[in-house]
Amino acid sequence: MKKSMRLFQRKKKMTMKAKVDSLLKWLRTSEQFYLATNISIHESDTSGRGVVLIDEKLTTNEVVISIPPSHQLNFYTILYHISMFNTKLDIHGITAASEENIMERNIGSQDPRFQAYGLLKQEFLLGLSSFQLLTLYILAEWILLPQWSSSEFVSYWKPFFDIWPAKEELGSVPAIWNLTGDSKYKELLHLSSLASKKHCSRISALVKSDWSVILPILKDWNTMFNGDANNELFLEKLYREFLHIYFVVNSRCLYADISLKKDDIDSQFTMVPYVDFLNHTDEVDVHCYPKLVKSSINANNLGRFEIRCGKFCYANKGEEILLNYGAHSNDLLLNEYGFTLPQNCWNCIDISDEITKLMDGQDTIVSFLKSNGYWGDYTISFNEISYRVLVALSLVITSDFKRVEKLLLGYISEDFFLPKIRPALQRLLLLLLDTYHEKLRLLRILPLSLSTCTENIANIYFGYIEIIENNLENM
């Protein structure tokens, strides 16, 4: 049994090595690609693939990885690639240079993308968000093209698609449980924290809305290639692929200025092969940092994407090279990326439900807080109870509107109210502590088959308990 397990693992590793080799071969087709010679990809059970130092050292500001625009997947490169098959698209500096060029390259081709992408009107494409365009295009190139052409035609991006995580690896994203009818993880949603539930509904709404925008095109393609736009089974399968692709993109996109979509903040990103192997650390401004180097020739497009070594120099063999994805709490990491950190200095607790409940039926207090901008968004972090919580509690406990007004104007400090609200605050924190211990007890009795996802939710509550205990100690 053990032997066969090892063989299986060995086979899996070799497969990943082959995928990485193929990715590197593809990247090396560009002279602008650069990879430090002393790094490599390593797989771990807890964080999947990651980048490690294999030799010598990396020092501050040294370029570790540099990926040319031609190998990044984003709003611009997708429009360019679609325009290779749709000569009607004409966006200066972005779509393929001339009709002759396109015809020359593809004359006589039976490639089904001529037909499929021929449907896409320029106005429609430009109206899509980056998420909508990327998910639609990746569905076409990765999932549908092999079906349309019986695998005769292969996407330019295949070496990049091949290194992305499998569906099971992204199985810990709560919005996927929420949006998949038969997910075995659904019961975990009830045990999630308030902040997680809020992230999950926000993200689920975005996913649903993006699906509804691209669905008509998928139906048209289905009529085109299968003669049946509304085949339920086909659409259901495609929806699962879409969900997977959505979270591959979500967990691997990097900030980049997409000026063509300048009014849409969520569209400002690019996907960058190899850079997307870098795992996250909660330390900000310490590890690697990204740098976009714009090309002077094509101002409309993105430049090369570089990763440089930060303040921290790597000098030990096997040391993991890390990137900070942002100052994210475990609630956010779980919902956007599907993982949590055992220690995370950005954790914080959303206690809005508990605080607003204290004001049930107290309309004057609620409208005072609303009109002064202090209604809702009540949080506690490791080092402090937010000022918003102190304001709300001061008013609920003392009903002293005049003095709370003075507090807001800065005429008196919160120290005036602290002795008055401390007992209620302590009671609230102790109650929360009990609630989180109870959640952990309930998580512990869930079936073992849910363990990875259960552990993530438990990590969130462990973080909450640390925060509460620290605040109680400092009161």
Ligand X SMILES: C[S@@+](CC[C@H](N)C(=O)[O-])C[C@H]1O[C@@H](n2cnc3c(N)ncnc32)[C@H](O)[C@@H]1O
Residues that bind ligand X (CB under 6 A): 46-50, 165, 251-252, 276-277, 279-280, 337-339, 341
Give min distance, CB of 341 to ligand X, in A. 6
**Which amino acid is present at 89?**
L
Could you tell me the two tokens for 254?
A: 């990097």
Residues in Cβ contact with 436 at an 8 Å cutoff, skipping those fewer than 6 apart: 461, 464, 465, 468
- Residue 409 to residues 224, 372, 399, 400, 405, Cα–Cα distance (Å): 65, 11, 17, 14, 6
Q: How far is the CB of 169 from ligand X (least distance, A)?
A: 7
Neighbours of 389 (CB within 10 A): 22
Instruction: Report the nearest approach of ligand X to the CB of residue 463 (Å).
Output: 14
Kindly tell me which of 97 and 166 has the beta carbon lying closer to ligand X.
166
Q: Which is nearer to ligand X, 26 or 337 (CB)?
A: 337
Nearer to ligand X, 87 or 279 (CB): 279
Q: Checking DSSP bridges between strand 253-255 and strand 63-67, what pairing results, if any?
A: unpaired
Question: How far is it, in rounded angstroms, from Cα 41 to Cα 5?
Answer: 22
Classify residue 417 as left (phi > 0), alpha (psi -120 to 50) or beta.
alpha
8 Å CB contact between 332 and 199: yes
169 CB burial (10 A radius; 0-12, 13-18, 19+): middle
Phi-psi region for residue 281, left (φ > 0), alpha (ψ -120 to 50) or beta?
Answer: beta
CB of 176 to ligand X, least distance (A): 12
User: For residue 328, what are its two tokens?
Assistant: 């994210």
Residue 474: CB minimum distance to ligand X, A: 28
Which residue lies nearer to ligand X by CB, 112 or 273? Answer: 273
The residue (of 16 and 358) whose beta carbon lies closer to ligand X is 16
- Give the nearer residue to ligand X in terms of CB position, either 160 or 382: 160
Cα 401 from Cα 407, distance rounded (Å)? 10
* Shortest-Cβ-distance residue relative to ligand X: 48
Nearer to ligand X, 116 or 175 (CB): 175
Total count of residues recorded for the chain: 475
3-state secondary structure of 472: helix
Closest approach of ligand X to the CB of residue 382, in Å: 19
Distance CA(454)–CA(446), nearest Å, equals 8
Amino acid in the structure at residue 91: I
Nearest to 438 by CA among 456, 458, 466: 458
Distant-in-sequence contacts of 56-63, Cβ < 8 A, 24+ apart: 57/313, 57/314, 57/315, 58/309, 58/313, 58/314, 58/315, 58/321, 59/309, 59/313, 60/309, 60/310, 60/311, 60/313, 61/308, 61/309, 62/36, 62/308, 62/309, 63/34, 63/36, 63/306, 63/307, 63/308
Taking the CA of residue 172 as centre, how many other CA atoms within 13 Å lie in the half-sphere pointing to its CB? 25
Minimum CB distance to ligand X smaller for 158 or for 219 = 158
Beta carbon nearer to ligand X, 71 or 252: 252
CB of 257 to ligand X, least distance (A): 20
Q: Which among 380, 358, 357, 397 has a CA at the least distance from the CA of 433?
A: 380
Q: Which is nearer to ligand X, 267 or 279 (CB)?
A: 279
**Closer by beta carbon to ligand X, 171 or else 303:** 171
Q: How far is the CB of 313 from ligand X (least distance, A)?
A: 20
Q: What is the DSSP string of 72-101?
A: -BSHHHHHHHHHTT-TT---TTTS-S-HHH
Least Å distance, CB 410 to ligand X, is 41
Q: How far is the CB of 337 from ligand X (least distance, A)?
A: 4
* Shortest distance in whole angstroms from residue 387 CB to ligand X: 31
